[in-house]
Structure 1
């Protein structure tokens, strides 16, 4: 059965699982990196955890650039393969690899240049500053292998192979989990490297993923390959890669800017508050981004159904996907609400961190289900070519609405206001999402009354 027939005829529930499980698992692995680093680093000291928390927006932004290039290449290759332009697809493979190396090296250099000023903006504590520099001066080297392995992952996924790329991601995560404690604490023959050891393990994991990705691309049978003979660098193609991947970059970069602003708010309270939020956010991202992997699987089904004019399957995919998202987000909320102290224990939380951290986690977790619902609506609008509105909703919940609400509530309630701003922003964004979706569906019914 062809992929088109499967997308058109496969029962929606089964199709959702087939399309969603690989990206769900992939996102879970991707965000396990940061969680593992923070959990092991916290055993060194709270200052070390604070340093990693300060570094998180930078590594998130670096990862967003990697996804930007990867998604742009993915869309371009998919289009060429659909048009049966094999040579153009192969040219894009070569272009994507060269672009990944070049942009990765530029980001690496830029990171070195901004690190001193960036960390001085957040702390005057000499210990935290030196730990932050020690960590990020090594982590900066992750950018080239990260960009290249994500680019190859997206290239292979563009051919319909969703399973293969998971294996080199699994290898990188396993490497990181094994070598984090060995290099941080100097177990066995390994030197005691402290916080630098966590960074070396992270860079090593990405490097292993890149090498295995190259091996898969070069040494296994794939529908695309590197084209050297006859390849010509085209600036038009470069611009298309950046343009096509821009929405994905914006969505991923927003969390980096949001964490930076929250850290600025928390800096007025204590380094412990920053360390707590850094630890919590790793857990939150693991939950939310894993669910976003599920949503990524819903998108092509809804997009295909909309393109085919099949509103019934479009709405079924949205309904069934939403039910799965709500169930997963509710499970994440329950885990945070019931086990906040145990989760903080993974990060060797001090008594002070536990004292307000438990309450803060329970408050912020209230917004998870609403986050999932608004993200599903945003994805539905993206699938139905309402891209600007889709991006607007994501900007509201992570930046445009969250920041002013945080400012207002913090002035009235202190640090509790910072935690409350998250569910307030999520609920408000959800209400806006419902209104925008109903407006769009009403417009569609007026344009196509026969389908109503």
Structure 2
């Protein structure tokens, strides 16, 4: 009976923590990859940091595609298991793996084909261009293992197991962290590979995550398995995987397009500005996406109680989640505002970068709280089947408000205007989200 389900009867606060901690840790580890790479690469030179920063939109878009397939598979498997259709759930597993390997290979090839014209569009510095090519020519091979391990992660999460997938990423992050200095600077028997070493360490981390994920899926009894006997490709199922994962892809891909737009403005100032923004954005992503892990834990609680018609528990989960998000975002804001010099020190920042970077970080950090609150409202709409409203908020943040703000404030305040565009866009997004929420409740009452 429904009353025996913990989603219906457990204390909301305790339930949110139980549901949130695994994805919170998972998101923290996932976004540690990029920060670790940049911190070690920055010790080589600022040009090397710029090269990694220019590569970030490509790798982010690749990661968004991985999440697209993963979320689509997750939603379908969870639905079939809920209806006790085991055969269909297993069929989704096989489709998911085939799509992950096939699309991963295509995206790998795509990255190799576009990287030369892409990098030339953002730098005329020959050294930065060559470093970017060297880094991306290896890093593009992360896509197949990344896509496969995320697909398996989402398959296992769909069965209710939120803990095991964390270990895939923990193992990958540890390998990346250990191999980075060894391969970049050359320690022991290993030669110094420079920026190539960072790319190899990244691919190795993802590869280990994929191997462990496959071993768990194939070697240990799971609630879903790969279906081989009687399997045939189903166009309708492939279409449903794409359809269910599309909103998540759009939300994650927006961040790649946003960084590209910002770099188009920064290229007019200096390569140092591009290097700085790449380093800063990895810090921001670590904070914002870790909080998003918490928000992911709130979503199923709100979704269940909305479906169950329990308005009181739905709104209790929203209020509790909002309070936690507010607290975490305030802590993240204070960390960046109080310690910008120390954070830039992680990236071996030059005096030129520090001259504008310290104030820039403080300006942009003021947007975190607004970002967290509007994302929580967006998630509430997602839980209550208002997907269009949810996506509209994301579009406002990273496109509809940000790009015009960048253009106007760049004209008015030059480089400082670019940094100011972020809190301006986030403030506008939060106002829109609050108006939408008020309108939704007034319409409902």
Short-chain TM bin:
over 0.9
Query: Could you say which residue in structure 1 is the equivalent of 2:373?
Result: 373
Distance 1:194 1:275 in 2: 17
SS in 2 for 1:122: coil
The alignment status of 1:89 with 2:120, answered yes or no, reads no
Query: Could you say which residue in structure 2 is the equivalent of 1:322?
Result: 322
Query: Could you say which residue in structure 2 is the equivalent of 1:449?
Result: none
Alpha-carbon deviation of 1:441? 1.1
The 1:3/1:93 distance shift into structure 2, 3 A limit, reads farther
Alpha-carbon deviation of 1:442? 1.4
Query: Could you say which residue in structure 1 is the equivalent of 2:108?
Result: 108
Query: Could you say which residue in structure 2 is the equivalent of 1:390?
Result: 390
Query: Could you say which residue in structure 1 is the equivalent of 2:238?
Result: 238
Distance 2:165 2:373 in 1: 28
Distance 2:208 2:141 in 1: 13
Alpha-carbon deviation of 1:46? 0.1
Alpha-carbon deviation of 1:4? 6.3
Question: Which aligned pairs between 1:221-260 and structure 2 lie closer than 5 A?
Answer: 221-260=221-260
Query: Could you say which residue in structure 2 is the equivalent of 1:350?
Result: 350
Distance 2:412 2:183 in 1: 45
Query: Could you say which residue in structure 1 is the equivalent of 2:312?
Result: 312
Segments of 4+ in structure 1 off by > 4 A? 1-4
Distance 1:65 1:233 in 2: 21
SS in 2 for 1:437: helix
Distance 1:321 1:22 in 2: 15
SS in 2 for 1:231: coil
SS in 2 for 1:193: coil
Does the 8 Å contact 2:295/2:376 carry over to 1?
A: yes
SS in 1 for 2:5: helix
Distance 2:191 2:213 in 1: 29
SS in 2 for 1:385: coil
SS in 1 for 2:360: helix
The 1:354/1:79 distance shift into structure 2, 3 A limit, reads same
Alpha-carbon deviation of 1:403? 0.5
Alpha-carbon deviation of 1:168? 1.1
Alpha-carbon deviation of 1:221? 2.0
Alpha-carbon deviation of 1:3? 9.8
Alpha-carbon deviation of 1:145? 0.2
Distance 2:228 2:216 in 1: 18
Superimposed CA distance per residue, residues 289-316 of structure 1 (whole angstroms, 9 cap, x where no aligned partner): 0000000000011111111111100100
SS in 1 for 2:14: helix
Alpha-carbon deviation of 1:30? 0.2
Distance 1:25 1:410 in 2: 37
Query: Could you say which residue in structure 2 is the equivalent of 1:7?
Result: 7
The alignment status of 1:174 with 2:155, answered yes or no, reads no
Does the 8 Å contact 2:402/2:422 carry over to 1?
A: yes
Distance 1:4 1:355 in 2: 59
Superimposed CA distance per residue, residues 146-202 of structure 1 (whole angstroms, 9 cap, x where no aligned partner): 000000000000000000111111000000000000000011111111000000000
Distance 1:71 1:348 in 2: 37
Does the 8 Å contact 2:2/2:8 carry over to 1?
A: no
Q: CA RMSD in A?
A: 0.9
SS in 1 for 2:224: coil
Query: Could you say which residue in structure 1 is the equivalent of 2:443?
Result: 443
Query: Could you say which residue in structure 1 is the equivalent of 2:407?
Result: 407
Does the 8 Å contact 2:3/2:9 carry over to 1?
A: no
* TM-score in terms of structure 1 length: 0.98
Distance 2:149 2:264 in 1: 33
| Unmatched segments (≥5 aa) in structure 1 | 446-452
Distance 1:87 1:305 in 2: 28
The 1:281/1:402 distance shift into structure 2, 3 A limit, reads same
Alpha-carbon deviation of 1:2? 8.2
Question: Which aligned pairs between 1:50-61 and structure 2 lie closer than 5 A?
Answer: 50-61=50-61
The alignment status of 1:417 with 2:417, answered yes or no, reads yes
The 1:4/1:143 distance shift into structure 2, 3 A limit, reads farther
* TM-score in terms of structure 2 length: 0.99
Alpha-carbon deviation of 1:220? 1.4
Distance 1:218 1:430 in 2: 45
Does the 8 Å contact 2:44/2:194 carry over to 1?
A: yes
Query: Could you say which residue in structure 1 is the equivalent of 2:340?
Result: 340
| Unmatched segments (≥5 aa) in structure 2 | none
Distance 1:65 1:340 in 2: 32
Distance 2:84 2:334 in 1: 48
SS in 2 for 1:279: helix
